[in-house]
Amino acid sequence: MADIQISVRQNTRPIITRVLRDFRNESNPVAVVNITGYALKLSVKREITDADSDAVFDLSASIVTAASGTYRFTLTPEHTFLPAGTYPGEIRWWTDGTATNPPHDALSVDFTVQAAVDQVV
């Protein structure tokens, strides 16, 4: 089971807002992390064994309020077009803001796409 579950509907534009917590801190795993200067990305793949270069998408987050660890992913239909199912992913972050070196840490994600309901006109 992944650290985080993200559920979206096919061909939608959801906005996912989250708070980064110090989950590896055994004494206070719910403490908020100040993400000033961080870079965060959501990467989703078809299979967990796929290379990073073969990811379905790699989306940068915008920082909403750095001091409270709040960040946001703004998805588009290009991110939610997948057939209904659950796909592996990660939210990765870089404390130096570069997003080029290996990430500082990551959370595993189950990215679930729910089938769109046809609208009857």
CATH number of the domain residue 42 falls in: 2.60.40.3350
State how many domains the chain has. 1
Whole-number pLDDT of residue 27 = 96
Query: Residue 97 — left, alpha, or beta (φ > 0 → left; ψ -120 to 50 → alpha)?
Result: left
Residue 121 lies in a domain: no
Residue 119 lies in a domain: no
Residue 33 lies in a domain: yes
How far is it, in rounded angstroms, from Cα 41 to Cα 32?
A: 18
Residue 12 lies in a domain: yes
Residue 104 lies in a domain: yes
Long-range contacts of 56-60 (CB under 8 A, 24+ apart): 56/82, 56/87, 60/99
What is the band of 36 on the pLDDT scale with cuts at 50, 70, 90? Answer: very high
Which tens digit of pLDDT belongs to each residue from 62-107?
Answer: 999 999 999 999 999 999 999 999 999 999 999 999 988 899 999 9
Residue 120 lies in a domain: no
Q: In terms of residue numbers, what domain contains 57?
A: 4-114
Residue 41 lies in a domain: yes
